[in-house]
Amino acid sequence: MSRVEKLIAQLAPNGVPVKMLGDIAELVRGSGMPKADLTDNGVGAIHYGQIYTRYGAWATDTISFVAPEAAARLVEVQPGDIIITNTSENTEDVCKAVAWLGDEPIVTGGHATVIKHSQDPKYLSYWFQSQSFYAQKRTLATGTKVMDVSAKQLMKVRIPVPPLEVQREIVKVLDRFTQLEAELEAELAIRVQQRLAFASAHFGFVYSTARQVDHPTRVRLGDVATQYIEPVRVEAEETYENLGLRWYGSGVFARDSKRGSAIKAKTLYRVKSGLFIYNRMFVVEGSFGIVTPDLAQGVVSNEFPAYELDSNRVLGEWLLHYLLDEYTLKRVAAEVTGVERGSMKSRRRWKEDQFEAFEIDLPSVDTQREVVRVLGTFSELESALREELAERRKQYEYYRDKLLNFEELMVEQAAA
């Protein structure tokens, strides 16, 4: 019998109570705080978009800050509070949570809810990663292009609330896995920075394999990319594999398949392997990708323009690296047009005519191939680290769900 099981037998012999989140916590919905408000100093701030990619289950320092006058208009987050996202492009990321464990209060803004409670903050944050919570949020999430779980809906979530001593013992176990992951993630981050530094150094002024200076040619993307349009009429009884794009060039992915009757759009667009696609609403987040063969029969909405590239002039992988370069993304961000309402950017887009008119420095295909080859070497090292990290995460997920499945623990205890 494990230490956790012994504590449950001692402190909760009749079972672990399950309560609605609204009964054990106060939920405060945030608003405001567009990215333009973020600074390098001031009052600590966590933007909802950063929670997806920049934070783990808990944090003691913030990546960003806001000016004191801006902080006064935002929701305050006290040490021990949980910040949970309300929106995402996919079910997996919606309601991602981070426990704030710093020494001072910070702030957060729109698309996030602050959970104020008297439980162990790490326990709650870990539980929000569990399969038990995932199953519940799937039933609560609404929307198609953007998934949303409101603070009011979150209050209905049912969560096991063991005694604090049990919560802390579970946290000790999961923290050990988190530490191992953090060490691998730190090494991976170093490798990524090395690759990005190499890419940045070569996109403006590159050398060919013969070490002769290769002067890039200035071209419009529309000169080397042709939009691919294959409309698909949505039928109520058909099932569709809707595709999305992760940020920062992290790839095209398949969302949960849906029947046509559950899709609001009347028309979707078929893609095929090798197409270069981007998300019009999130280009500033590096939302570019190449359709892989396993996703070739998927569909996208009109927010994901797809392009066939002239392979005699430009390689898809090279273009992906080029557009993800920090300087290039700043140029793209300067072109995004539309009306911004508060922290909402749903009307701000980089449209097809802007994509096609965008000018790039295009070296020869041989030079592109060499740059991709070198970047591929970096990527291989990254892949090895990612594989090891994936194995660690599988172990973590197994023990996390086992530790947080109190019904299973009680059954095992009774059998013993």
Per-residue pLDDT tens over the stretch 110-137: 999 999 999 999 999 999 999 999 999 9
Query: Mean pLDDT score of the chain, rounded to an integer?
Result: 88
Contact 101, 58 (CB under 8 A): yes
Q: 20-52 b/e with 16+ CB inside 10 Å = b?
A: ebeeebebbebebbbeebbeeebbbbbbbbbbb
Among residues of the chain, what percentage have pLDDT more than 90?
63
Q: Are residues 117 and 244 in the same domain?
A: no
Average pLDDT over residues 374-388: 86
Contact 112, 31 (CB under 8 A): no
Q: Tokens 């934070």 appear where? A: 55
Residue 4 forms part of a structural domain: no
Residue 7 lies in a domain: no
SS3 call for 261: helix
Average pLDDT over residues 302-322: 95
Examine the domain organization and report whether 264 and 396 are in the same domain. no
- What pLDDT is stored for residue 206 in this prediction? 42
The answer as to whether 345 is a domain residue is: yes
pLDDT of 209 strictly over 60: no
Domain span including residue 326: 217-362
Per-residue pLDDT band at 214 (split at 50, 70, 90): low
Q: Do 379 and 280 lie in a common domain? A: no
Tens-digit pLDDT profile for residues 76-96: 999 999 999 999 988 888 999
Q: Does residue 35 sit in the same domain as residue 147?
A: yes
Whether residues 265 and 300 share a domain: the answer is yes
Q: Could you give the 3-state DSSP secondary structure of residue 288?
A: strand
Positive or negative: CA dihedral 376, 378, 383, 386: negative
| Inside any domain, residue 114 | yes
Question: What's the number of domains the chain is made of?
Answer: 3
Residue 383 CA: distances (Å) to CA of 185, 274, 388, 395: 12, 21, 9, 19
Q: Is residue 95 part of a domain?
A: yes
pLDDT mean over 270-289: 94
* Residue 8 pLDDT greater than 60, yes or no: yes
Res 146: pLDDT: 85
Asked whether the predicted pLDDT for residue 103 surpasses 60, the reply is: yes
- Given a cut of 50, whether residue 411 has pLDDT beyond it is no
Q: Over pLDDT 70: what percentage of the chain?
A: 91
Query: Which of these, 367, 45, 70, lies nearest to 214 by C-alpha position?
Result: 367
Residues 260 and 275 in one domain: yes
Same domain as 300, residue 225 = yes
Q: Report whether 100 contacts 45 (CB < 8 A).
A: no
Q: Which helix (H) or strand (E) holds 308?
A: strand 306-309
Q: What is d(CA 156, CA 153) in angstroms, rounded to the nearest whole number?
A: 6
